[in-house]
Amino acid sequence: MARSGGLIRSTVFAVAAVLAGAACGDGGEKQGGTPATPPGVASIQIVNFQFTPPNPTVKPGAKVTWTNGDTAVHSIKDTSPLATPVSPDMAKDATFSITYGQPGSYTYICGIHQYMTGSVTVAP
Looking at the structure, do residues 19 and 43 belong to the same domain, yes or no? Answer: no
Cα separation, 106 vs 79, in Å, equals 7
Q: How many domains does the chain have?
A: 2
Looking at the structure, do residues 117 and 63 belong to the same domain, yes or no? Answer: yes
Where residue 71 sits, what CATH number does that domain have?
A: 2.60.40.420
Q: What global pTM score does this model have?
A: 0.68
pLDDT of res. 39: 59
φ/ψ (deg, to 5) at 63: -100, 120
Looking at the structure, do residues 24 and 43 belong to the same domain, yes or no? Answer: no
Cα separation, 10 vs 12, in Å, equals 5
Instruction: For 77-123, write each residue's pLDDT tens digit.
Output: 999 998 888 999 999 999 999 999 999 999 999 999 999 999 999 99
Cα separation, 73 vs 77, in Å, equals 13
Looking at residue 7, the DSSP 8-state letter turns out to be: H
Peptide bond into 53 cis (omega under 30): yes
Cα separation, 64 vs 61, in Å, equals 10
Looking at the structure, do residues 118 and 93 belong to the same domain, yes or no? Answer: yes
Range of the domain at 91: 37-122
SS3 state at 117:
strand
Looking at the structure, do residues 51 and 88 belong to the same domain, yes or no? Answer: yes
Q: Report the pLDDT averaged over residues 29-55.
A: 75
Bridge pairing between strands 41-47 and 76-78: unpaired
Looking at the structure, do residues 94 and 113 belong to the same domain, yes or no? Answer: yes
pLDDT above 60 (res 33): no
Average pLDDT across the chain, whole number: 78
Looking at the structure, do residues 69 and 102 belong to the same domain, yes or no? Answer: yes
CA count, 13 A, side-chain hemisphere, 11: 6
